[in-house]
């Protein structure tokens, strides 16, 4: 989106929402319009909770399997945006929010923006572009810290602490 379109969007969207309230209010009445607004807010909260828990489980599974959960993170972000849009009063935001809860719509959006998104792993200096393929395996090893004997050593007879360490083993020493 071009920068000059942002002010037009920020002014036009609330005006369109107000027009939506007027049109729906004329068609179904005041109380039904308020009921729709409150109902979509409650629906957004319920969908956000159920879909959000599903996405969190999916992210956890992919992380445990050693894969970069790029697609699951994007799905989660879109679901959060969808829930927030449903919580906001307005019929246009509700339409966009409900559309974002549909997996097909999320996949279409991801296919459009996925080529521009780079998922970066903080454990290494490499960055990966997510294109529905597995990232390159990380090279074994890592940063090496060279310490002399004077820099680091374990005292074979450490002084007894006042209280036991939570990491102490059965003999009272840390492993």
The encoded tokens of residue 152 equal 């680091």
pLDDT at res. 104: 92
140 domain-assigned: no
160 domain-assigned: no
119 domain-assigned: yes
- Please give the Cα distance from 138 to 131 (Å, whole number): 18
31 domain-assigned: yes
Task: Give the model confidence (pLDDT) of 113-127 as tens digits.
Answer: 777 766 565 555 444
pLDDT at res. 129: 45
pTM here is 0.59
What total number of domains does the chain contain?
1
59 domain-assigned: yes
48 domain-assigned: yes
The encoded tokens of residue 70 equal 């790029």
Highest mean pLDDT among 3-7, 22-26, 126-130: 22-26
Split at pLDDT 50, 70, 90, the class of 31 is very high
- Please give the Cα distance from 101 to 165 (Å, whole number): 48
15 domain-assigned: yes
84 domain-assigned: yes
pLDDT at res. 28: 93
Mapped onto helix, strand or coil, the DSSP state of residue 120 is strand
The encoded tokens of residue 56 equal 């969190």
Structural domain range at position 97: 11-129
From residue 128, give the alpha-carbon distance in Å to each of 116, 125, 156, 175.
11, 10, 45, 37
CA angle 76, 77, 78 (to 5 degrees): 90
Asked if 77 and 59 count as a contact pair (C-beta separation under 8 A), the reply is no
Task: Give the model confidence (pLDDT) of 54-111 as tens digits.
Answer: 888 888 888 888 877 777 788 888 888 888 888 888 899 999 998 998 889 988 988 8
pLDDT at res. 22: 92
Query: What number is the average pLDDT over the span 125-136?
Result: 48
- Please give the Cα distance from 91 to 18 (Å, whole number): 9
Task: Give the model confidence (pLDDT) of 12-30 as tens digits.
Answer: 988 999 999 999 999 999 9
φ/ψ of 154, rounded to 5, equals -100, 135
């Amino acid at each position: 989106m071009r920068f000059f379109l942002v002010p037009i969007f920020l002014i036009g969207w609330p005006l369109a929402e107000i027009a939506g309230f007027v049109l729906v209010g004329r068609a179904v009445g005041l109380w039904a319009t308020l009921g729709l607004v409150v109902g979509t807010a409650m629906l957004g909260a319920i969908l956000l909770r159920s879909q959000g828990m599903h996405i969190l489980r999916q992210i956890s599974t992919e992380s445990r399997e050693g894969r970069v959960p790029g697609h699951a993170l994007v799905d989660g972000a879109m679901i959060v945006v969808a829930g927030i849009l449903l919580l906001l009063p307005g019929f246009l935001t509700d339409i966009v929010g409900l559309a974002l809860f549909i997996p097909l719509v999320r996949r279409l959006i991801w296919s459009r923006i996925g080529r521009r998104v780079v998922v970066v792993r903080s454990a290494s200096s490499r960055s990966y572009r997510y294109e529905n393929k597995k990232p390159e395996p990380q090279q074994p090893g890592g940063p090496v810290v060279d310490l002399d004997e004077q820099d680091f050593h374990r005292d074979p007879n450490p002084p007894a602490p006042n209280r036991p360490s939570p990491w102490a083993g059965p003999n009272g020493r840390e492993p």
